[in-house]
Homo-oligomer: A and B are copies of this chain.
Amino acid sequence: MNGTFTIGVFDSGFGGLTVLRALLATLPHAQFAFLGDTARLPYGSKSRRTIARYAAESAQFLVREQGAEFLVIACNTASALALDAIRDAVPVPVLGVIEPGAAAARTATRTGDVLVIATDATVQSHAYSAACTVQGLRAMEKGCPLLVPLVEEGWVNHSVTAEVIRIYLDELMRDASAAGLMPDTLVLGCTHYPLLRPAIERAVPGGVRVIDSAEAAAEAAVRQFGAQVETPDAPKASEPILRCFATDSVEKFERLGSRFLGRPTGSVGLVDLGG
């Protein structure tokens, strides 16, 4: 600690590194502590109760042990199911990815009808639908459970992945049309999906814009906390300082994490959260 503003970023795995990547680019004078709860991933297939407990423990590690003064929950599932539990567990401001994603969709859409793809747990929570309703939008959500394993297999430019995306999007467009929606915006509601963005953009019908809620969350964080980090009298790190932690296999984190972060993660610390 050197007095520099510290932002804690949390995900169940590596995907949230896409949010961290955007934060690093826009807040060059902050310190960052990232925790991937890799021993207990994926959250996407678990219950609200379990996810809330895991996420609260992870948030407490970042605040108590790493001195985070602001938390970004870079995990759609935890944002959808555990944001209140995390806010109850730590005394610092907490930003999720759902509301920024919905706000970015409002800016992008002209018809007011929005599609969302995400994990099953995120979809079953209907958190995106609720956030879109707040923004005056109608949303149709779809769980796409094969996309995370395809990214983790490294098949981001593979014909099988293109086919799976086509099947999921066809089903989603059909359901939206049957419900009388005219969607012109697709929200990527999982932090793994930015790696599939080129393949997804090839698969969406013409005129449909793709919104990345990881990017939207990073922009919201900058709007909310950028001033505290970048004011002339704030203590500054000479370049972004990043410490990464994982609850399991740091070797795997170091190896896979760089794909999401777009640069090496550096040495990753192993954390035992007792579960």
Contacts and interface: CB of A to CB of B under 8 A. Distances in A.
Contacts of A45: 38, 41, 152, 252
Interface in A148-193: 148-150, 152-153, 155, 160, 163-164, 167
B248 A50 contact: yes
Contact of A249 (B39, B47, B153): B47
A267 B87 CA distance: 35
**Residue in A146, A152, A160 with the greatest tally of chain B CB atoms within 10 Å:** A146
Interface of A: 38-41, 45-47, 50, 145-146, 148-150, 152-153, 155, 160, 163-164, 167, 248-249, 252, 274-275
A41 B249 CA distance: 15
A25 B252 CA distance: 41
B47 A248 contact: yes
Contacts of A152: 45, 145
Contacts of A149: 145-146, 148-149
Nearest to A167: B160
B248 A46 contact: yes
A146 B145 CA distance: 11
A275 B133 CA distance: 35
A51 to B, nearest CB: 9
A167 B45 CA distance: 27
Nearest to A249: B47
Contacts of A249: 46-47
A153 B145 contact: yes
Contacts of A163: 160, 163
Nearest to A49: B248
A47 B149 CA distance: 18
Contacts of A252: 45
